[in-house]
C-alpha cells in the first residue's frame, strides 16, 4: 500500500506539472457552461437569422431541465471523452516508448501497482473534471431553465461515472496491448462510439451493453428510477471493468519490459 501511494503520488504530481489537472477540468467546465447557455438562447439565436418565413420560428419548444442536462452529458460524451482519451492515450505506451518505465520496473515494484496507480489516477482526473463541469452545467440549468430533483441528478451521475470507468479501463487494456498511441486512441474511441451507436439503434439487442448506460443516465434525470435492463447493463459493465483490469495486469506482467533492439 505504501508503494502504491508512492507511485500514485508520482502520477498525480506529473499531471499537476504538465497542467492536466488544470486544463482538462477547465475545458469540461467550459463545456458545462456552454450547453445550458446555448439551449437557453437557441430560440433567440435562430430568431436573429430572421430570414425564415413568418411564423416558422416560433415553434421551438423550450427544453426541460432534464433534457438540457441530458444534452450536456451528450456534449461531454463526445467532446469530453475525445479529449480525455487523447490526453491519456499514452498512459502505458508513452512510458514504454520513451523507456522511462525501465528504471521503475527494475526496482521491486509489482507490475499490478504500476498499472493500477495509472488507471486510478486517470479515472480520478476524468471523473473529477466531468463532475466539476457537470456541477457548473447544473447551476446554469437551474438558473436559466428549471430544476430537477437532486436525487435524480445524483443517481444519473453515478451511472454515468460507471460508463466513464468503462472507458478508462478499456483505454488501459488497449494501452497495454499496443505500442502505438494512435492505435490506442482509435480503438478506445472506436469501441465506445460503436457501443453507443449500436445501443441507440438496437436497444433491445444491446440491453446488456455498457453503451446503454448513457441512455440510462438520461432516464435517471427524467424519472429518478432505473429503466428496463439497467441492472443488467450496470453489472455487465462492472464485470467488464474488472476483467479489463485483471487482463491488463496479466498481459503487462507477461510482456517484455524491454524489447530486443539489435
Partner 1 sequence: MKVESFINDLQSVPWSLVAPIIILSFILMVIAFIDCFKHGRTNGPQWVWILVIVFINIAGPIAYFIFGRRND
Partner 2 sequence: MSLILTEALTKTFNGTNAVDQIDLSIKEGVCTALLGPNGAGKTTTLNMLTGLMKKSSGNIIFDKRYSGDRRKYIGYLPQYPKFYSWMTGEEYVIYSGQLGGISKQEAIKKTDDLLAMVGLSDDKRKKIAGYSGGMKQRLGIAQALIHDPKLLILDEPVSALDPIGRREVLELMKTLKKKTSILFSTHVLHDAEEVCEDIFIIKKGKVVVEGNLGELQKKYQKPTIYIETEEPLESWSQSLKDIEWLRHIEADNTKLTITVENIDVAREYILNNTGLRNLNIKSFQVAKTTLEDLFMEVTK
Q: Please say which residue, 98 or 143, places its beta carbon nearer to partner 2.
A: 98
118 counts as binding partner 1 under rule CB under 8 A:
no
x-marked contacts with partner 1 along 232-251 as a string, rule CB under 8 A: --------------------
Q: Please say which residue, 79 or 120, places its beta carbon nearer to partner 2.
A: 120
144 binds, among partner 1, partner 2, none (CB under 5 to 8 A by kind): partner 1
For the chain, what is the HEC assignment?
A: CHHHHHHHHHHHHHHHHCCHHHHHHHHHHHHHHHHHHHHHHHHHHHHHCCCCCCCHHHHCCCCCHHHHHHHHHHHHHHHHHHHHHHHHCCCCHHHHHHCCCHHHHCCCCCHHHHHHHHHHHHHHHHHHHHHHHHHHHHHHHHHHCCCCCHHHHHHHHHHHHHHHHHHHHHHHHHHHHCCCHHHHHHHHHHHHHHHHHHHHHCCCCCCCCCCHHHHHHHHHHHHCCCCCCHHHHHHHHHHHHHHHHHHHHHHHHHCCCCCCCC
In the bound complex, what is the minimum distance in angstroms from residue 15's beta carbon to partner 2?
Answer: 10
Q: Please say which residue, 10 or 247, places its beta carbon nearer to partner 2.
A: 10
In the bound complex, what is the minimum distance in angstroms from residue 105's beta carbon to partner 2?
Answer: 7
Binding positions for partner 2, rule: CB under 8 A: 3, 6-7, 10, 14, 17-18, 98-100, 102-109, 254, 256-258, 260-262
In the bound complex, what is the minimum distance in angstroms from residue 105's beta carbon to partner 1?
Answer: 17
Task: Considering only residues 7 through 66, tell me which ones interact with partner 1, judged by CB under 8 A.
Answer: 14, 18-20, 22-23, 26-27, 29-30, 33-34, 37, 40-41
106 binds, among partner 1, partner 2, none (CB under 5 to 8 A by kind): partner 2
Cα distance between residue 89 and residue 123, in whole Å: 13
| Footprint of partner 1 (CB under 8 A) | 14, 18-20, 22-23, 26-27, 29-30, 33-34, 37, 40-41, 83, 86-87, 90, 94, 98, 100, 140, 144
Amino acid at each position: 500500500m505504501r508503494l502504491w501511494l508512492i507511485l500514485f503520488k508520482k502520477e498525480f504530481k506529473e499531471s499537476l506539472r504538465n497542467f492536466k489537472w488544470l486544463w482538462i477540468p477547465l475545458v469540461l467546465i467550459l463545456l458545462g457552461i456552454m450547453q445550458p447557455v446555448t439551449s437557453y438562447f437557441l430560440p433567440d439565436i435562430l430568431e436573429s437569422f430572421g430570414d425564415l418565413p413568418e411564423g416558422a420560428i416560433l415553434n421551438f419548444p423550450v427544453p426541460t431541465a432534464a433534457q438540457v442536462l441530458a444534452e450536456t452529458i451528450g456534449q461531454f460524451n463526445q467532446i469530453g471523452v475525445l479529449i480525455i482519451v487523447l490526453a491519456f492515450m499514452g498512459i502505458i505506451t508513452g512510458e514504454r516508448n520513451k523507456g522511462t518505465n525501465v528504471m521503475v520496473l527494475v526496482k521491486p515494484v509489482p507490475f499490478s501497482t504500476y498499472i493500477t496507480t495509472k488507471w486510478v489516477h486517470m479515472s480520478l482526473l476524468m471523473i473529477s473534471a466531468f463532475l466539476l463541469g457537470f456541477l457548473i452545467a447544473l447551476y446554469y440549468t437551474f438558473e436559466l431553465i428549471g430544476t430537477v430533483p437532486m436525487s435524480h441528478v445524483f443517481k444519473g451521475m453515478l451511472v454515468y461515472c460507471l460508463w466513464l470507468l468503462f472507458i478508462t479501463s478499456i483505454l488501459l487494456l488497449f494501452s497495454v496491448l499496443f505500442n502505438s498511441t494512435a492505435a490506442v486512441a482509435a480503438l478506445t474511441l472506436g469501441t465506445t462510439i460503436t457501443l453507443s451507436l449500436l445501443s441507440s439503434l438496437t436497444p433491445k439487442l444491446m440491453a446488456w451493453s455498457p453503451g446503454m448506460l448513457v441512455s440510462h443516465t438520461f432516464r435517471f434525470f427524467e424519472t429518478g428510477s432505473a429503466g428496463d435492463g439497467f441492472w443488467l447493463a450496470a453489472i455487465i459493465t462492472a464485470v467488464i471493468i474488472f476483467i479489463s483490469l485483471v487482463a491488463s495486469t496479466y498481459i503487462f506482467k507477461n510482456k517484455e519490459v524491454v524489447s530486443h533492439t539489435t
